[in-house]
Structure 1
């Protein structure tokens, strides 16, 4: 029988992930598709208890991050403006079950240019627990990739690229879906990357050439898929050049995405370290709990 000292929760738009914790040790983990988008405000507590009720016996701290703290979430954890210490503020969520003591970490906002993040700030905090002297840029690949400038233990400014979402939409819902296949082609990826990294203004015409190449030249689906990824990531790197040029850069994300970004950044002369996103979010949640 598992008895958690506390519960870590990463609560996104589509999914909920929880871990039974003893200090920084993971005792058990569970997940569900009870993301923020699927729940009314009075349903969050039940969705959480459905996963953790067997792990708790008395009053138990639950430290949560992500969209659970949005305006549509369990309770709003207002954004903290940059510059700030990431995951440095949290709010209590209302509960009915006396075993629960739920706190939700605030996201981070930026006034100019306007930008927000929820969840990534906790990964940044976890990274800084392990790398307290880091001075450089963190890139967090995902549906909405974040580039964040870190100095003196603070998040100074950041920018978001919708590269992952654009890839999903273009590959699954646009005319380009007819050209997409499975697998991967490194040469096609690098060719697409070089094309828009050097000439990002050509992104719209470069994208349609994928469809035309499939029709006229028989380009296979794996090459088309990899080239699409390269075209989009090249445009992102061109836009984010002020973040990575002359900076120490580290990646935080899933292994596959980290590898793609490592390959792309190598073409501009950067050798970057990669860190697992789940490991970093757990370190950030543990740090927040220890700061209570």
Structure 2
């Protein structure tokens, strides 16, 4: 997707701002998506003064110039290095934990930008920004949900939800480890950008689950097998992914064991996680991340409108 060029009058605008990309949606009065756009202006590439121009480049065609349009933003825009730092709600707590939204400074009087808080966990230390909004969306969709949510990504999160609260969560740097090992270690001689093998992935997951203490040795085995037995680049990539996802599944067992599991995502990565969980006899349900983020930001908007109606600050 690219920044929107067609004019669409949004009732409000939803934004998920990550380190490498920003996704935005023009939303109607019934929280229906009217248009969407994506920008490569991730938070890691922007200084605070560049966030507003990057946002306007993406959403300008959705603004009704006769009124102020509310923009609700979650993700790394609220980080210390982002647009405006927002606080963390401490778990266990509902998403946002009752904390107010933070209004970002803007020069354009046609928008009002509200940045959502993140969540923190003190023991063991962990943080999230953006994922808590998807959790709010899941709770909005399934108010009685009691289980664990897996959000695959560069930093995959496992989140335990019960009674409308985020009870605890754990972050695994599996995606980042895959990127580092495939691009910057001796394994990069074995990898390329194409090719894949489900069979190699499944076998590596099973090996990792059975003997997680052997994963460091098996990682070099990928290089050795490529040299000695012509292991293909696609099989090499699948084995590396399977070994890393396998140790994550093993390490996250206290989260998923005996619980209802929701897997967020429709990507190939999410499908790989579904395969890995299936090897443990698990059948996670799938949720669309766009639906959850719109529902979560919509819940934040509803709370803000309620506080405006009662004259309180929110």
For residues 33 and 255 of structure 1, what CA distance do their matches in structure 2 show? 18
Mapped contact 1:108–1:121 kept (Cα < 8 A):
yes
Counterpart contact for 1:80–1:106, Cα < 8 Å: yes
Give me the whole-angstrom Cα distance separating, in 2, the residues matched to 1:26 and 1:237: 34
Q: Does the residue aligned with 1:115 lie in a helix, a strand or coil?
A: strand
Provide the residue aligned with 2:33 in structure 1.
26
Correspondence 1:160-175 to 2 at 5 A: 160-175=171-186
Q: Tell me the CA shift for residue 148 of structure 1.
A: 0.6
Contact 1:18/1:29 (<8 A) preserved: yes
Q: Could you list the runs of 5+ residues in structure 1 that have no partner in the other structure?
A: none
Q: The residue matched to 2:243 in structure 1 has which SS?
A: helix
After superposition, the C-alpha distances for 1:165-201 in whole angstroms (9 at most, x for unaligned) are: 1111111221111112422212211111111111111
User: TM-score, structure 1 length as denominator?
Assistant: 0.97
Structure 2 residues without counterparts, runs of 5 or longer = 1-6, 305-314
**1:50, CA displacement in angstroms?**
1.5
Equivalence map 1:147-162=2 (5 Å): 147-162=158-173
- Offset from partner CA, 1:118-165 (integer Å, 9 cap, x none): 111111111111111110100000000000110001000000001111
Q: TM-score, normalised by structure 2?
A: 0.90
User: 1:42, CA displacement in angstroms?
Assistant: 1.5
Name the count of aligned residue pairs: 292
How far is 1:54 from its partner?
Answer: 2.5
Structure-2 separation of matches of 1:106 and 1:254: 26
Deviates more, 1:143-152 or 1:12-21: 12-21
Indicate the residue corresponding to 1:176 in structure 2: 187
Q: Does 1:50 align with 2:57?
A: yes
Quote the Cα distance in structure 2 between the aligned partners of 1:122 and 1:248: 20
Q: Is 1:13 paired with 2:19?
A: yes
Structure 2 matches for 1:229-268, cutoff 5 A? 229-268=241-280
Q: Among residues 100, 109, 118, which one is paired with 2:129 in the alignment?
A: 118
| 3-state DSSP of counterpart to 2:241 | helix
Stretch moving more, 102-111 or 217-226 = 217-226
Alignment of structure 1 residues 118-137 onto 2, 5 Å: 118-137=129-148
Measured on the aligned residues, the alpha-carbon RMSD in Å equals 1.2
Secondary structure of the structure 2 residue equivalent to 1:156: strand
Match of 1:60 among 59, 62, 69: 69
Deviations 1:192-211 (A, max 9, x none): 11111111111111100000
Contact preservation (8 Å) 2:89, 2:96: no
Q: Distance in 2 between matches of 1:185 and 1:20?
A: 38
Alignment partner for residue 155 of structure 2, among 144, 153, 172?
144
Q: Once the two structures are superposed, what CA deviation does each residue of 1:7-35 show, in whole Å capped at 9, x if it has no partner? A: 11111111121111112111222221211
> Matched residues in 2 for 1:135 and 1:243: separation?
12
Per-residue deviation, 1:285: 1.1
After alignment, is 147-156 or 279-288 more displaced?
Answer: 279-288
